[in-house]
Amino acid sequence: MATTSNTHLLLKIPLSHHHNHQPHRHNRRHLLLPTTPHKPISITCSATQLQDRAAAASSITDRVFNFAAGPAVLPENVLLKAQSELLNWHGSGMSVMEMSHRGKEFTSIIEKAEADLRALLTIPDDYAVNQDPHARYLHICANETIYGVEFKDYPVPKNKDGILVADMSSNFCSKPVDVSKFGVVYAGAQKNVGPSGVTIVIIRKDLIGKAQDITPVMLDYKIHAENKSLYNTPPCFGIYMCGLVFEDLLDQGGLVEVEKKNQAKAKILYDAIDESNGFYRCPVEKSVRSLMNVPFTLEKSELEAEFIKEAAKEKMVALKGHRSVGGMRASIYNAMPLAGVEKLVAFMKDFQVRHA
Ligand SMILES: Cc1ncc(COP(=O)(O)O)c(C=O)c1O
């Protein structure tokens, strides 16, 4: 982490902790990342390598279109890159899961991940923030994952010194965002940028250092900022995966380009719903429809189970709506390819013809 910048990359912070922080006079900001469990890997002998490659190739063609709300789909090229680097990361002779989190290899991974995220979101290095003692926070959920509702413009706190705090878990890095409008942005990585267990927190530095006396050290951002997200052992492999995703998003041309793709994907799906003469319905008002989570119902609700079952047979999985609202929901995060949404739309049209 660059000490001259106004953000830090920190690890293992629960999503709900930010509200304890009071503003404070240094005009800086921090950025945090966190936790993932490691799956055991088994390694067979090298004689089977060619066979393993063939198996890997077929497992790519066997992949489903995963419409889950999170943990969610990851970019195939990122998974393949992680696979190719798994046994021996950049000549280190070991995997990222095995290396010291304080060693030079992992330091380069976490620093590059942060630098790429800074570039993606154009996180400003400095801006003035004037706070008064009565400052309050306004907390929003930038994209509500269950109902599929997304802020298109962000609200400004009524109190001119108010701090805007956003949970961006389900639309993080799906489009450009003016980070300078927020005191705190946080996001679980498991929807758009990596595996579950990593939480990214971008926090203006003047909001750090005001934890209550009773706050456990692990919940104090100051500790994590001071220790560059390495106060204790972080979820190294999860951070590495996020880093690969950030690199991939930059390679795609950054978030301006990523947003265009997301808009195109969402448009064909919402159009298919809206043009179905009521066979499919989206309950969300058009101006606030999410680009990430598309909920819809069937006019003949008794067909919903059949819809989900048939879609799964066609290798489109996790289309069931959240248990609290029912219906269907297609989560179409960054890593969902256009082909997945096109296939879903074609299936929906065919299903309608067969069941109208
Ligand atoms: C907007 C939003 N915030 C946070 C989360 C993650 O919450 P938790 O880590 O408590 O499962 C989710 C989804 O899982 C979400 O959609």
Residue 278 pLDDT > 60, yes or no?
A: yes
Number of C-beta neighbours around residue 23 at 10 A: 22
**Of ligand 1's atoms, which has the minimum distance to the CA of residue 168?**
1
Q: What percent of the chain has pLDDT over 90?
A: 73
> Closest Cα to atom 4, ligand 1: which residue?
169
Give the pLDDT mean for 271-276.
Answer: 98
Distance of CA 188 from the midpoint of ligand 1 (Å): 7
Q: Return the ligand 1 atom nearest residue 144 CA.
A: 1
What pLDDT is recorded for position 343? Answer: 98
Which atom of ligand 1 lies at the shortest distance from residue 143's CA?
A: 1
pLDDT computed for residue 61 by the predictor:
78
Q: Flag whether pLDDT at 176 surpasses 90.
A: yes
Q: Which atom of ligand 1 is nearest to the CA of 145?
A: 16
Cis before 195? omega within 30: no
As a whole number, mean pLDDT of residues 212-237 equals 93
CA 144–ligand 1 middle distance (angstroms)? 9
Q: What is the mean pLDDT of the chain?
A: 85
**Cα-to-centroid distance, 220 and ligand 1 (Å):** 20
How far apart CA 97 and CA 8 sit, in angstroms, is: 22
Residues 254-277 have a mean pLDDT of 98
DSSP structure string for 101-161 = TTSHHHHHHHHHHHHHHHHHHT--S-------TT--EEEEESEETTTTEE-SS----SSTT
Residue nearest to atom 7 of ligand 1 (CA): 188
What is the rounded average pLDDT of the residues 293-304?
97
Mutate to test the pocket of ligand 1, among 13, 141, 151, 169 (most ligand atoms within 8 A of CB): 169
Residue nearest to atom 9 of ligand 1 (CA): 188
Q: How far is the CA of 33 from the centre of ligand 1 (A)?
A: 15
What's residue 137's pLDDT? 87
- Evaluate if residue 118 carries a pLDDT over 50: yes
pLDDT value of position 306: 97
Is pLDDT larger for residue 326 or for residue 272?
A: 272
The SS3 call for residue 222 is helix
Taking residues 154-163, report their average pLDDT: 87
pLDDT digits (tens, 9 = 90+) for 17-69: 333 333 333 344 455 544 344 444 444 334 444 455 566 666 777 899 999 99
Q: Supply φ then ψ for residue 106, to 5 degrees.
A: -70, -30
Query: What is the model's pLDDT at position 54?
Result: 60
CA 255 to ligand 1 centroid distance, Å: 22
How many A from CA of 145 to the centre of ligand 1? 8
For ligand 1, atom 11, name the residue with the nearest CA.
188
What span, in angstroms and rounded, lies between the C-alpha atoms of 228 and 225? 5
Decide if pLDDT at 356 tops 90: no
Distance between CA atoms of residues 202 and 164, nearest Å: 12
Which of the listed residues 149, 170, 186 should we mutate to test ligand 1's pocket, taking the one with most ligand atoms within 8 A of CB?
A: 170
Q: Whose CA is nearest to atom 10 of ligand 1?
A: 15
What is residue 133's predicted lDDT score, i.e. its pLDDT?
45
pLDDT in the model for residue 38: 47
Judge contact between 36 and 238, C-beta under 8 A: yes
* Single pTM value for the model: 0.81
Q: 255-265 pLDDT, tens per residue?
A: 999 999 999 99
Is a pLDDT exceeding 50 seen at residue 82? yes
Pocket residues: Cβ below 6 A from ligand 1: 15, 70, 141, 145, 167, 169-170, 188
Closest to 231 in 3D by CA, of 20, 30, 15, 13: 13
Q: What is the dihedral of CA 169, 171, 172, 177, to 10 degrees?
A: -130
* Centroid of ligand 1 to alpha carbon of 275 (angstroms): 31
For ligand 1, atom 16, which residue shows the shortest CA distance?
Answer: 145
Q: Which helix (H) or strand (E) holds 88?
A: none
